[in-house]
Structure 1
Amino acid sequence: MIKNIKILVALLLLCVSSMLNAQSIKITGIITDPTNDPIIGCSVLEKGTNNATISDMNGNYTITVKANATIIFSYIGYVSKEIKVKTSENINVTLEEDSQILTETVVIGYNSLNSRDMISAASTSSGKRQREKRSKPSISISESDLRSSLEYNKKNKNEEYGSYVENSFKSPLEEALSTLSIDVDAASYTNFRRYVNQGEMPPKDAIRIEEFINYFKYKYDEPTTKDPVKVTTEVGQCPWDEQHRLVRIGVKAKEVEKENLPPSNLVFLIDVSGSMAGPTRIELVKKSMNLLINNLRNTDRVAIVVYASEVGEKLASTSGSEKQKIKDVVDGLVASGSTNGAGGIQKAYEIAEKNFIKGGNNRIILCTDGDFNVGVSSNEGLQELIEKKRKSGVFLSILGYGMGNYKDAKMQTLAEKGNGNASYIDNIQEANRVLVQEFSGTLFTVAKDVKLQIEFNPSQVQAYRLIGYESRILNKEDFNDDTKDAGEMGVGQTVTALYEVIPVGVKTNRLPKVDKLKYQKTNKSNENIILTDSPELLTVKLRYKEPDRDNSVNMELPVLDNKKNDVSSDMHFASAVAMFAQLIKDSDYKGDATYDKVIAQAKSGLENDTEGYKAEFIRLVEVTKSLK
Structure 2
Amino acid sequence: MKNLIHISSGIAMLILFLNFKTINHEKNHENYIVVTGTVSDELGTLPGASVVVKGTTRGTTTGFNGEYSIEASEQDEIEFTFTGKKKKTVKVGKQKVIDVVLENGYIGEEVVLTGIVGKARKADATTSSYQSVKSYEINQRANPKTIKSLSGKVQGLKITTTNNGVNQNNSIVLRGNRSTTGTNEALIEIDNKISTVETLQNMDPKEIEAMNVIKGAQGAALYGEKGVNGVIVVVSKNGLPKDEKKKLLDQIKKNNQPIPLIEPENEDYETFVENQFESPSNEPLSTFSIDVDNASYTNIRRFINQGQTVPKDAVRVEEMVNFFKYNYAKPDNDQPFAIHTEYNDCPWNENHKLIKIGLQGKEIPSDNLPNSNFVFLVDVSGSMSEQNKLPLLKESMKVLVNQLRENDKVAIVVYAGAAGLVLPPTSGNDKETIIKSLENLNAGGSTAGGAGIELAYKIAAENFIKGGNNRVILATDGDFNVGSTSNKDMETLIEEKRETGVFLTCLGFGMGNYKDSKMEILADKGNGNYAYIDNIQEANRFLGKEFKGSMFAIAKDVKIQIEFNPKHVQNYRLIGYENRKLRTEDFKNDTIDAGELGSGHTVTALYEIIPTGVESTFKNEIPELKYSETNKKSNTYSDELATIKFRYKKPDGKKSIELVEVIKNSDNSIQNSSEDFKFSAAVAWFGLKLRDSKLITNKTTKDIKNLALQGKSFDNEGYKAEFIRLVEATNTIN
- In the superposition, the TM-score normalised over structure 2's length comes to 0.69
* 2:363 corresponds to 1:255: yes
Deviations 1:66-117 (A, max 9, x none): xxxxxxxxxxxxxxxxx97355588x9x9963377125899xxxxxxx979x
SS in 2 for 1:102: coil
Paired residue for 2:179? 98
Distance of 2:364 and 2:335 partners within structure 1 = 13
- CA displacement at 1:236 relative to structure 2: 0.8
* 2:644 corresponds to 1:553: no
Distance of 1:573 and 1:592 partners within structure 2 = 17
Paired residue for 2:31? none
Maintained 8 Å contact 2:324/2:720: yes
Maintained 8 Å contact 1:537/1:560: yes
Greater shift, 507-516 or 585-594, is seen at 507-516
- CA displacement at 1:144 relative to structure 2: 7.0
Within the candidate set 72, 78, 83, 1:57 is matched to 83
* 2:566 corresponds to 1:458: yes
Paired residue for 1:574? 680
* 2:716 corresponds to 1:610: yes
The 5-angstrom pairing of residues 154-165 of structure 1 reads 155-165=263-273
* 2:593 corresponds to 1:485: yes
- CA displacement at 1:332 relative to structure 2: 1.1
Maintained 8 Å contact 1:353/1:394: yes
Distance 1:537 1:274, change over 3 A: same
Distance of 1:24 and 1:407 partners within structure 2 = 35
Deviations 1:176-228 (A, max 9, x none): 11000000111011000000111101110100010111110001121111111
Distance of 1:584 and 1:322 partners within structure 2 = 45
Maintained 8 Å contact 2:64/2:537: no
Distance 1:542 1:324, change over 3 A: same
Distance of 2:389 and 2:58 partners within structure 1 = 22
SS in 1 for 2:275: coil
Maintained 8 Å contact 1:460/1:504: yes
The 5-angstrom pairing of residues 121-270 of structure 1 reads 155-270=263-378
SS in 2 for 1:622: helix
Maintained 8 Å contact 1:305/1:314: yes
Distance of 2:552 and 2:231 partners within structure 1 = 39
Maintained 8 Å contact 1:247/1:501: yes
Paired residue for 1:139? none
Distance of 1:460 and 1:512 partners within structure 2 = 15
Distance of 2:55 and 2:415 partners within structure 1 = 38
Maintained 8 Å contact 1:235/1:246: yes
Q: Aligned-pair RMSD on alpha carbons?
A: 3.6
Distance of 1:591 and 1:205 partners within structure 2 = 20
- CA displacement at 1:39 relative to structure 2: 10
SS in 2 for 1:598: helix
Maintained 8 Å contact 2:610/2:619: no
SS in 2 for 1:480: coil
Paired residue for 2:222? none
* 2:166 corresponds to 1:85: no
Distance 1:104 1:41, change over 3 A: closer
Distance of 1:313 and 1:146 partners within structure 2 = 40
Maintained 8 Å contact 2:504/2:528: yes
The 5-angstrom pairing of residues 360-371 of structure 1 reads 360-371=468-479
- CA displacement at 1:527 relative to structure 2: 5.6
Distance 1:227 1:621, change over 3 A: same
> Would you say how many aligned residue pairs link Structure 1 and Structure 2?
545
Paired residue for 2:406? 298
Segments of 5+ residues of structure 2 without an aligned counterpart are 1-37, 69-79, 89-94, 103-124, 130-175, 188-193, 199-227, 234-258
Paired residue for 1:597? 703
Aligned letter for 1:283?
A: P
Distance of 2:730 and 2:59 partners within structure 1 = 17
Distance of 1:33 and 1:325 partners within structure 2 = 43
- CA displacement at 1:367 relative to structure 2: 0.4
Greater shift, 223-232 or 386-395, is seen at 223-232
Deviations 1:287-311 (A, max 9, x none): 0011111111111100000000011
- In the superposition, the TM-score normalised over structure 1's length comes to 0.80
Distance of 2:58 and 2:263 partners within structure 1 = 18
Higher helix share: 1
Maintained 8 Å contact 2:50/2:62: no
Aligned letter for 2:714?
A: N
Distance of 2:579 and 2:40 partners within structure 1 = 46
Maintained 8 Å contact 1:445/1:489: yes
Aligned letter for 1:85?
A: V
Distance of 1:225 and 1:184 partners within structure 2 = 22
Distance of 1:240 and 1:589 partners within structure 2 = 9
Maintained 8 Å contact 1:306/1:314: yes
Maintained 8 Å contact 2:178/2:229: no
Maintained 8 Å contact 1:349/1:389: yes
Aligned letter for 1:362?
A: N
Deviations 1:402-436 (A, max 9, x none): 10100000000000111010000000000100000
Segments of 5+ residues of structure 1 without an aligned counterpart are 1-22, 49-53, 63-82, 107-113, 119-142
Maintained 8 Å contact 2:185/2:229: no
- CA displacement at 1:30 relative to structure 2: 3.3
Structure with the greater relative contact order (CA < 8 A, sep ≥ 6): 1 or 2? 1
Within the candidate set 632, 637, 640, 1:536 is matched to 640
- CA displacement at 1:538 relative to structure 2: 0.4
Maintained 8 Å contact 2:282/2:622: no
- CA displacement at 1:533 relative to structure 2: 3.4
Aligned letter for 1:506?
A: V
Distance 1:193 1:56, change over 3 A: farther
Maintained 8 Å contact 1:40/1:58: no
Aligned letter for 1:353?
A: A
Distance 1:591 1:24, change over 3 A: closer
Aligned letter for 1:464?
A: Y
Distance 1:89 1:197, change over 3 A: closer
